[in-house]
Structure 1
Amino acid sequence: MSSGISARRAAVPAPHADRSEPSISHFIIVFASLDPFPTLPATSKHLLKRLAVDLATLCSNPEDLEHTFDLLNASYGTEVAQAARNRLKQDPSIEALIAEQYWGDWPSLADLQAMPAGSLGHVYGTFMASQGLNQLPNPQLGDSVPSEDTYLQQRIRHTHDVWHVIAGLPITLAGEAAANGLTTEQLRWPGSALLISADLIHRVSESQASPTKEDDQRIDLGVAVAYGLSLGAKAQPLLAQRWEEGWERPLSEWREALGISELIARSPFPPLTGDRSPLASASIVGSWSLQSLTIRHADSAEAIPVWGEHPLGQLTYTADGRMSAVLCKAGQSTHAAGAGSADVAEQAALFRHSYGYAGRYTLTTEGVIHHVEVAADPSWIGTDQHRITHRADDCLTITTTAIASVVSPDPVSYEAIWRKLP
């Protein structure tokens, strides 16, 4: 470990060589290298330096998995982690699992995906497959760790991605930051708390750089951490749950039983792939502006933008149960003074790049049904158009199953993201 610290110390510029302000991660490395606690036992000093190197690396790059797992593994042997395990073992709902060493059946991803749409198993299997994820490696524990503590650590690690699905957290920098907040609040885990600190330090450092288009669209790490902490404080103990006995239970029922349905409805994150949770109590009444529109063909998971990166559209739901939607491609024009005097080819292009319909609507457990009374496509009139909805703050995501459309000769599924108008 000392050679690693020396290599990192060598990377710190001398004052006369570089007058730029040193990063916080540099200070962490130097602090650990100067032996700030001379009275600590050698093993404790070694652990402190190991954690410092991991933390410094993660402050610069929170997505470094090697140092993430090393920090977590190093933290498991600390007194703080032992106190957290002792606290968990005193929880009656968790104590029963430990006594039983409970471990249910984990079907293959293919079997999970074949479960009913909207079920925990289906969403978990679809989520894991869509991300190309495998089970996380088992934690590295010392020989002195009791068997019940080993079970706890392995159970926590093995169900990590189930917690992601229950909380609706993607495998992104912000999603993992939220998961660290959830874990810290639920488990009092020192490793998760250190990862939060790295996330937030990275956020501070990043804010000094010029924002990019990607940064503007990314969920703020501070918002993500706060959301995760709120979930952890609100939810029933996730570690106490026997997920394996409820693979086919609707995800929405799991969230309702855990007491987090309302928080999920206000999530800053879009729904996970396969998540068909209901809109819950969030209202859709009002007018919405179209932000993006994509389609997916039946034989592909690729989301393809429709009508450009910035299509136009407005969607309105009234309090008395009526709705209307108008969508079109931005920047369209004709050589004629108007569409009525345009030639047939231009009129056909305008039709293919615009759509509108209206009628009544009713809310369902999955979202909303549009009862179409008038539409640009006469085949829609008199039909019920089922939509899956998810609201997060001022954004409303609406998806469809495969349907006939003006953009493709074959049925395609749509995803439209709308933002609430003032």
Structure 2
Amino acid sequence: MATLLRGALRPLRAFQGRGQPAADVPLRATSHGTGLLYPEHIPTSLLQKALLAAGSAVMALYDPYRHDMVAVLGETTGRRTLKFLRDQMKRDPEGAQILQERPRISMSTLDLEKLRSLPEGSFGCEYLRFLDVNRVSPDTRAPTRFVDDEELAYVIQRYREVHDMVHTLLGMPTNIPGEIVVKWFEAVQTGLPMCVLSALFGPIRLSAQSLQVLVSELIPWAVQNGRRAPCLLHLYYERRWEQPLRALRQELGITEPPVRVKDLV
């Protein structure tokens, strides 16, 4: 049994020892060594995936800010959902173009000078403001490693890289209530198990007052907007920088949040 467990957990040790790859490297089906489908790919068996999923689920529930564990959970539990999302993207003109061109979002691919020159209220200006105010960067998104299909690996990588843009569209900060609201929206839109898990168990650490506001106002708002809006994975954000944020929200059917999430703890 000990030998079996050591073999099953070997991929996690390899995962922990790797650094962050360049975020502008496209995920393509090319030869990267024996059994490797893309640069950071770590092939795993069904048993290894099950152990990784169980361990990452426990860690993610204990600490929702362990984004590395949330990432592992998403890769080891969401294959069927990723196939569904991939097929949806292929049927959408904008989504199909994203799958074909494989754009990446990182500090090296963003034209920061252009974003800073955009007018107030534009989507690009507001996205850059979100990054600055919340002190976050797209470079902190974990690379895909455990998805054994390079096209599906790109889909989940795209999901991670547009996460901050979803925050911008919803007007949500990066505090715990803001993250929970975004996760409810993403859970409705994508059905990814990690989103559902985070949406359901994320509120555990909130105060009673914040939890009441979340349940009575913010979660219903997130669910309603998630159902009404087209899947945001289909949006070619990089070509929407100059569009006014208000107009983009109207196009997508996203309404203003009912309360200020910034004040909740």
Taking structure 2 as the reference length, the TM-score comes to: 0.68
Summarize the Cα distance change of 1:84–1:217 in structure 2 as closer, same or farther, 3 Å threshold. Answer: closer
How much has 1:255 moved relative to structure 2?
A: 0.6
Q: What is the rounded CA distance, in whole Å, between the counterparts of 1:217 and 1:180 in structure 2? A: 16
1:159-308 residue pairs with structure 2 within 5 A? 159-200=162-203, 202=204, 216=209, 220-222=213-215, 223-260=217-254, 263-264=255-256, 266-270=257-261
Give 1:144 shift. 3.8
Contact kept, 8 Å, 1:54 with 1:67, in 2: the verdict is: yes
Q: What is the CA-CA distance between 1:71 and the residue it aligns to?
A: 1.7
1:267 Cα deviation after fit: 2.9
Q: What is the Cα deviation at residue 171 of structure 1? A: 0.5
Q: Distance in 1 between matches of 2:201 and 2:172?
A: 19
**Contact (CA 8 Å) 2:115, 2:128: kept in 1 or not?**
yes
Asked if 1:81 is matched to 2:82, the reply is: yes
Q: Tell me what 1:47 maps to.
A: 49
Do the aligned partners of 1:97 and 1:240 also contact (CA within 8 Å) in 2?
A: yes
- SS of 1:236's equivalent in the other structure is coil
Letter in structure 1 aligned against 2:229: A
Q: Secondary structure at the match of 2:111?
A: coil
Contact 2:118 2:242 in 1 (8 A): yes
Q: Is residue 196–residue 225 contact of structure 1 (8 Å, CA) maintained in 2?
A: no
Aligned counterparts of 1:225 and 1:52: Cα–Cα separation in 2: 27
The secondary structure found in structure 2 opposite 1:197 is helix
Partner Cα separation in structure 1 for residue 198 and residue 146 of structure 2: 22
Paired residues of 2:104 and 2:161 also in contact (CA < 8 A): no
State the match for 2:111 in structure 1.
107
Distance 1:167 1:196, change over 3 A: same
Inter-partner Cα distance in structure 1 for 2:61 and 2:231: 30
Name the structure, 1 or 2, with higher relative contact order (CA <8 Å, separation 6+).
Answer: 2
Of 117, 120, 125, the residue aligned with 2:120 is 117
User: Aligned letter for 1:137?
Assistant: R
Question: Which of 131, 137, 143 is the aligned partner of 2:141?
Answer: 137
Residues 272-292 of structure 1 deviation map (CA, whole Å, 9 limit, x = unaligned): xxxxxxxxxxxxxxxxxxxx9
Aligned counterpart, 1:96: 97
In 1, the alpha carbon distance for the partners of 2:250 and 2:161 equals 23
Per the TM alignment, residue 123 of structure 1 is displaced from its structure 2 partner at its CA by: 1.1
Q: Give the counterpart letter for 1:60 in structure 2.
A: Y
Compute the displacement of 1:173 (Å): 1.0
Distance 1:144 1:71 in 2: 14
* Alignment match, 1:420: none
List per-residue Cα deviations over 1:373-421 (Å, max 9, x = no partner): xxxxxxxxxxxxxxxxxxxxxxxxxxxxxxxxxxxxxxxxxxxxxxxxx
Residues 293-321 of structure 1, C-alpha deviation per residue, up to 9 Å, x if partnerless? xxxxxxxxxxxxxxxxxxxxxxxxxxxxx
Q: Which has the larger radius of gyration?
A: 1
Long gaps (5+) in structure 1: 4-41, 272-291, 293-422
Look up the equivalent residue of 1:116 and give its one-letter code. P
Whether contact under 8 Å (2:68, 2:142) holds in the other structure is: no
Pick closer, same or farther for the CA change 1:270–1:144 going to 2, 3 Å.
closer
Letter in 1 for 2:134: Q
Give the superposition deviation at 1:196: 1.9
Tell me the percent identity: 21
Larger fraction in strand: 1
| Count of residues paired in the alignment | 218
Matched residues in 2 for 1:143 and 1:176: separation?
24
What residue is the counterpart of 1:322 in the other structure? Answer: none
Displacement of 1:270 after TM fit? 5.0
Q: In structure 2, do the counterparts of structure 1 residues 228 and 143 end up closer, same or farther at CA, with 3 Å as the change threshold?
A: closer
Do the aligned residues in 1 keep the contact of 2:183 with 2:195 (CA within 8 Å)? yes
Query: CA 1:88–1:134 in 2, change beyond 3 Å: closer, same or farther?
Result: same
After superposition, the C-alpha distances for 1:112-147 in whole angstroms (9 at most, x for unaligned) are 23421111111111110111111132432347413x
CA distance in 2, matches of 1:217, 1:82: 36
Name 2:58's counterpart in structure 1: 56
Q: Is the CA contact 1:73–1:139 (under 8 Å) kept in the aligned structure 2?
A: no
CA contact (8 A) 2:61 2:201 kept: yes
Task: Judge conservation of contact 2:50–2:76 (CA < 8 Å) in 1.
Answer: no
Partner of 1:169, secondary structure, is coil
The offset of 1:103, in angstroms, is 5.9
Change (3 A) 1:54 1:198: farther
Give the RMSD, CA atoms, in angstroms.
3.2
Name the SS for the 2:60 alignment partner. helix
CA contact (8 A) 1:75 1:190 kept: yes
